Structure 1
Amino acid sequence: MVMVIGLEGSANKIGVGIIQDGKVLSNPRRTYITPPGQGFIPHDTAKHHQAHVLEVLQEALAEAGADPQDVDAIAFTKGPGMAAPLISVAVVARTISQLWNKPLIAVNHCIGHIEMGRLVTGAENPTVLYVSGGNTQIIAYLERKYRIFGETIDLAVGNCLDRFARILMLSNDPSPGYNIEQMAKKGKKYLPLPYCVKGMDVSFSGILSYLEERANKLLKTQQYTKADLCFSLQETVFAMLVETTERAMAHCGSQEVLICGGVGCNIRLQEMMGKMCEERGAKLYATDESFCIDNGAMIAQAGYLMYNSGLTTPLSDTWVTQRFRTDDVPVTWRE
């Protein structure tokens, strides 16, 4: 029975999860929430993580009924992400590794999302749509690598949604994307927006600029409501993601789609992707916010797979990086 503890802190969530042989024993987290109209600054986010990481660690151990001696390895997020928060969590992982005399495993954040999605949904070999605040990628597995078939060439879709929420001064509690989703449900009037798909890649900066220039005027003249604009933005960006995912499925001959990452818990995105899958006779796999949103268990699960395949990380290689490509990681645990 292999037990791995995972520490995640690449953005505004600090999470610690414990996995034992594919079973989630605990997965607490804390979220750094800023006032409406503001994003989260790396330095302040790191301070939040430093203030909460030990209590979250103790909570994870208590909830799992585990002691340090029960743990076989400690996994942590190496990247991608924001530098200061990544460093603050890596320091904790290194410290407890030496205190407990346990090996370290440096995990790619994106692969953590994919492997957690595969674990909780049972998807075998899906085409993956990975959508979050910092990443937007369409991924498929082939020959010991997760291959990127398409991605954003500028903003991540989650960043686009977050920044539009700031324009509308929506609350960041529990998240700006969630509040856009709720407001969009009341929207009735569609505003045509720039639709930017370039081959297999997508671009969101033009859509955001278009709205930044026009949103206040459209609201003041009462041509559109805030709900209408949220509805229009979601419909447009999600249609772009469904189109490129379908193209990747056709290329790979795939009959499974897995949505993961923080934006992946958006019900409207799941509905649109589900309709496309239904028309193709394919199956959609998606999870709720407990596993879509950044969490420690996903890092623990990826670490568990890496550890079982013989991979650990020497202390000298436990540095972090803001840029860590999904397709840079040798996937030694899959056939």
Structure 2
Amino acid sequence: MTKPTNTGGGPLIALGCEGSANKLGIGIISHDPTTGKTAVLANIRHTFVSPPGTGFLPKDTAKHHRTFFARIALAALRAAKVTPSQLACICYTKGPGMGAPLQSVAVAARTLSLLWDRPLVGVNHCVGHIEMGREITGATNPVVLYVSGGNTQVIAYAEQRYRIFGETLDIAVGNCLDRFARTLAISNDPAPGYNIELLARKGGAVLLDLPYAVKGMDCSFSGILGAADILAAQMRAQDKILETEGPGALKEGETRITPEDLCFSLQETVYAMLVEITERAMAHVGSAQVLIVGGVGCNERLQAMMGSMAAERGGSVYATDERFCIDNGIMIAHAGLLAYETGFVTPLAESTCTQRFRTDEMLIKWRDD
């Protein structure tokens, strides 16, 4: 396809639709081909929050997205002060993610494309995170640590692909934290991982022994989660003993387990693993920059640990706040518009979605460095 022309002479504007998990996001962004500047015009998000001790089921999450899509899209248009006729394209998350929520948003994006007569652009969710992080932070060619509820990857760019150097062998680090939040019946509002972080800040008196599972450039988190669940069961047993027998009922030398120390120990262990494999990737590609993206990337302790490592190597860490690291529509709009500017569109007949869409499958045609 030929590169799109800007007949109006102004910036190209795209609307992005994200709904791969429990967050529904609609974002609108503009790229000015004359100045090279990018402007965030709207970034609206609505989260499906399940009760404490539970996760979010695909069918319930999909229903949430269907319920709120139209009103969030209208709110984004109002916030951006643009009309559908001003949009160059409609971008949506093609994958990866949860099947039913992805499908709901893909159908909604298709509807907008037909209703407004605008081309569709399917976007890789992971690439959206990376490109948004690069745009906001100004990182040039960093090693990327992508950490979220569904993904854990160490990535570096080479020859128009985002190459995966290491990843989780089982569950994602965000999923590990979310599932442990269920074990402790921690609130899911605003996010279970954030509430674990708050508890961890109050801990630190004891670093509990948890498995450390780094295998080459890869990590494993399921065993750590299992061990943390066992410690949580021991904590509940201790609480019962103390409740019935009073202070001093614990055995001599037995460590008093608290939710705060559990959260602290889990964070310290899993984040140390992530720092290790990221440092190894930096050494391999010769980069002094680390860009942390994805919802877990908001965690200040992870940023601090990564910052200490990078500083020792004479490097630096780049990260964004919750507006851009947590799933959002603006990252889909941005990555989609970058692809659209190279001439890429997704035909309506091919506007599918998939739970499996690896980061390195996407051709990064807009980069030639």
Of 297, 304, 310, which residue of structure 2 is paired with 1:264?
297
Residue of structure 2 aligned with 1:152, choices 148, 163, 168: 168
What displacement does 1:290 show?
A: 0.7
Residue 17 of structure 2 is aligned to residue 7 of structure 1: yes
SS of structure 1 residue aligned to 2:353? coil
CA–CA separation in structure 2 for the residues paired with 1:220 and 1:18: 51
SS at match of 1:193: coil
Quote the residue 2:224 is aligned against.
207
What SS is found at the alignment partner of 2:164?
strand
Which residue is equivalent to 2:128?
112
- CA drift of 1:220 comes to 3.3
Match of 2:338 in 1: 305
State how far apart, in whole Å, the 2-side matches of 1:239 and 1:218 are: 24
Structure 2 CA distance for aligned equivalents of residues 149 and 267 of structure 1: 24
Aligned to 1:177: 193
Deviations 1:111-143 (A, max 9, x none): 000000001000110100000000000000000
Secondary structure in structure 1 of the residue aligned to 2:202: coil
Aligned to 1:275: 308
Q: Distance in 1 between matches of 2:114 and 2:71?
A: 19
Matched ranges for 1:286-297 at <5 A: 286-297=319-330
Where do residues 4-153 of structure 1 align in structure 2 (5 Å cutoff)? 4-21=14-31, 22-153=38-169
Deviation at 1:214, TM superposition (A): 2.7
Structure 1 residue aligned with 2:286, among 236, 253, 264? 253
Aligned letter for 1:20? Answer: S
Q: Distance in 2 between matches of 1:134 and 1:59?
A: 28
Deviation at 1:247, TM superposition (A): 0.2
SS in 2 for 1:106: strand
What letter is aligned with 1:202? C
Structure with greater Cα Rg: 2
Aligned length: 335
Cα 1:30/1:133, change in 2 over 3 Å: same
Cα distance in 2 for partners of 1:174, 1:218 equals 25
Partners of 1:157 and 1:111 lie apart in 2 by 18
TM-score (normalizing by structure 1): 0.99
Which secondary structure state, in structure 2, belongs to the residue aligned with residue 185 of structure 1? helix
Shift of 1:219: 4.2
Match of residue 251 from structure 2: none
Separation in structure 2 between the aligned mates of residue 83 and residue 277 of structure 1, nearest angstrom: 37
Correspondence for 1:191 among 208, 213, 230: 208
Please list the CA deviations of residues 57-100 of structure 1 after superposition, one character each: whole Å capped at 9, or x if unmatched: 00100000000001000000000000000000000111110111
1:165-204: per-residue Cα shift (whole Å, max 9, x none)? 0000000000000000000000021101100000000000
Structure 1 residue 218, shift from structure 2 partner: 2.8
The offset of 1:212, in angstroms, is 1.7
- How large is the Cα RMSD of the aligned pairs? 0.7
Aligned residue for 1:249, secondary structure, equals: helix
User: Which secondary structure does the structure 1 equivalent of 2:15 belong to?
Assistant: strand
TM-score, reference length from structure 2: 0.90
Distance apart, 1:213 and its partner CA: 2.3
**2: CA distance between counterparts of 1:248 and 1:144?**
18
For 1:324, the aligned partner's letter is F
Q: Is structure 2 residue 362 aligned with structure 1 residue 329?
A: yes
TM-fit CA distance, 1:144: 0.6
Name 1:237's counterpart in structure 2: 270
Q: 1:212-223 residue pairs with structure 2 within 5 A?
A: 212-221=229-238, 223=256
Structure 2 gaps of 5+ residues are 1-10, 32-37, 240-255
My pick for the range that moved more, 221-230 or 118-127, is 221-230
Q: Which runs of 5+ in 1 are unaligned?
A: none
Name the amino acid aligned to 1:12. N
* Paired residues of 1:219 and 1:226 also in contact (CA < 8 A): no
Superposed CA deviations along residues 248-295 of structure 1, whole A, max 9, x for unmatched, are: 000000011000000000000000000001000011100111100000
Measured against aligned partners, the alpha-carbon deviations of 1:203-247 in whole angstroms (never above 9, x if no partner) come to 000001112223121343262100000000000000000000000
